[in-house]
Amino acid sequence: MSECLVRRLTVIEVEQLIGWAHAEGWNPGLNDAAAFHATDAQGFIGAFVDGEMVAGISAVAYGTSYGFLGLYISRADMRGRGYGKAVWDEGMAYLDGRTIGLDGVDAQFDNYRRKGFAPAYRTIRFGGRLAGRPIDGGTLTAVTPALLPDVLTFDRRSFPEQRDGFLARWLAPPHLACVAAAHDAVTGYGVARRCRSGWKIGGLTAIDDRTAAALVQHLAVSVDGDIFIDVPAARQAFIGFLLNAGLRPGFETTRMYRGNPIPLAPALYGVTTLELG
């Protein structure tokens, strides 16, 4: 292992790491770097050899009790030399004392188990062009500044810590965001972002299957191209809707936690992003 420097990443370097994720087939968003980095500027870590990044990871802290690992990649020509372990160790040290989550691919499942992570639930990525008749899911409208506080409050039904700073950016253009409401109360929200291929929908939270389906349908007709959504496998009725509407299953991951396990939230229908939880 050549001498390396482990340090925090700039926004431009986070963009480079996301480019690696694209090369791995992870299909990241076109505008992810700025929103990601602004969530926790200390949570993006890289290993550098001779001034070039050779490995990276995101280890983003939320509130005082939770953190999430993602974007864990070593450059293809530098693997097996300990650089990935260097950024992993730094990320774990940064999140020490918190419950830590990640979405692991099957090839790394045993590796994460050895590192103290326990499986919580499976997620399945569905993709394609959505079809079907319009669904009544209450009043659907764009997220406005006036609605934002209620959406942030609703988000705590599906996420274990406050993430208001992140969502304020995630719900804003160029992303497309919509909220469902009934009797002047928020009943769900969804976000679609343009990716290297098509659009990803996430997060998607709702009080029930019908509201979640209506939000997906509303977003799908608002974009031009295929949509993709990472759905907890336990959402069988919602998955049935997606299949009947023409989407097909593909990429799968396992949500895993080290520390206090976090049960699947009843309101969670689509993971916000596999990189930040």
* CATH number for the domain that contains residue 25: 3.40.630.30
Say yes or no: 172 and 265 in one domain: yes
- What pLDDT, on a 0 to 100 scale, did the predictor assign at position 183? 74
Say yes or no: 22 and 148 in one domain: no
Of all residues in the chain, what percent carry a pLDDT higher than 90?
Answer: 85
Say yes or no: 32 and 137 in one domain: no
Say yes or no: 69 and 129 in one domain: no
Say yes or no: 57 and 132 in one domain: no
- What pLDDT, on a 0 to 100 scale, did the predictor assign at position 24? 87
pLDDT mean across residues, the chain? 94
Say yes or no: 87 and 155 in one domain: no
Residue 190 corresponds to which tokens in the numbers above? 């969804």
Q: How far is CA 20 from the centre of its chain?
A: 17
The confidence band for 1, taking pLDDT boundaries of 50, 70 and 90, is low
Q: Is residue 117 part of a domain?
A: no
Q: Is residue 118 part of a domain?
A: no
Range of the domain at 163: 125-270
Q: Is the predicted pLDDT of residue 138 greater than 80, yes or no?
A: no
Q: Pick the more confident residue, 24 or 1.
A: 24
Q: Is residue 102 part of a domain?
A: no
Q: Is the predicted pLDDT of residue 64 greater than 90, yes or no?
A: yes
User: pLDDT of 202-219, one tens digit each?
Assistant: 999 999 999 999 999 999
Cα separation, 74 vs 55, in Å, equals 4
Say yes or no: 82 and 153 in one domain: no
Q: Is residue 10 part of a domain?
A: yes
Q: How far is CA 268 from the centre of its chain?
A: 12
Q: Is residue 131 part of a domain?
A: yes
Say yes or no: 150 and 82 in one domain: no
Q: Is residue 276 part of a domain?
A: no
Would you say the pTM of this structure is higher than 0.85? Answer: yes
User: pLDDT of 230-261, one tens digit each?
Assistant: 999 999 999 999 999 999 999 899 999 999 99
The total number of residues shown for the chain amounts to: 277
Lowest-confidence region among 7-11, 122-126, 224-228: 224-228
Say yes or no: 135 and 253 in one domain: yes
* Beta strands per DSSP E along the chain: 5-8, 44-49, 52-62, 66-74, 99-104, 118-128, 139-142, 176-182, 185-194, 199-206, 227-232, 248-258, 268-270
| Residue range 108-134: mean pLDDT, rounded | 93
Q: Is the predicted pLDDT of residue 5 greater than 90, yes or no?
A: yes
Of 97, 116, 137, the domain-final residue: 97
- What pLDDT, on a 0 to 100 scale, did the predictor assign at position 168? 92
Say yes or no: 87 and 144 in one domain: no
Residue 249 class from Cβ within 10 Å (0-12 exposed, 13-18 middle, 19+ buried)?
middle
- What pLDDT, on a 0 to 100 scale, did the predictor assign at position 89? 97
Say yes or no: 184 and 86 in one domain: no
Say yes or no: 93 and 203 in one domain: no
User: pLDDT of 18-62, one tens digit each?
Assistant: 999 998 888 999 999 999 999 999 999 999 999 999 999 999 999
Count up the domains in the chain and report the number: 2
